Amino acid sequence: MPGYEPSEVPLYGDRATVEQQYAAAEAAERPFFAIERYEEGYAITYDLLPAGAQLSEPAVSELDERVTRVVEGLVGDDDRETTEVSRSIGDSLGQLSFFDSEDGAREVAATVSVIVLDEDNWVAASPPSDTGDAFRTN
């Protein structure tokens, strides 16, 4: 089954490492998926474009629902310190931030990875839509 166990999710602590790992994902034509550590906390990032893919519409809906449930579970747990979590869930790129604890970020990342990294949920990435005159030159 695709996806990570919470303890297996890659964690990158600095921008240089993130950029290096993103470049490696592009070179290998595989998705970028990781937890990134910032001063504000931990962020989960996924990008399927290096693999030439994006999530199908049903997979995006399922991902949104699962993320809502798992984040609500973290926020509702009085034994865990939590703050508001911002999320951007797209068909090819997504980020959830900021988690106060590495454990919380790992738990959510593992849930996200099961859907995002499952190639059965992928479709070929669509090129950006034509915006008319925006790309014309004289």
The predicted-structure confidence for 21-30, as pLDDT tens digits, reads as follows 999 999 999 9
Structure tokens at 138: 């004289």
Sign of the CA dihedral with 85 first, then 73, 43, and 108 last: negative
Q: What range defines the domain where residue 35 resides?
A: 6-125
Is omega for the bond preceding 99 within 30 degrees of 0, making it cis?
Answer: no
Whichever domain contains 38, its CATH number is 3.10.310
Residue 133 lies in a domain: no
This prediction's pTM: 0.85
Number of domains in the chain: 1
Element (H, E) at 133: none
CA-angle at 101, arms to 105 and 94, nearest 5°: 30
Q: What is the tens place of the pLDDT at every residue in 17-65?
A: 999 999 999 999 999 999 999 999 999 999 999 999 999 999 999 999 9
**C-beta separation of 32 from 12 below 8 A:** no
Residue 68 lies in a domain: yes
Residue 97 lies in a domain: yes
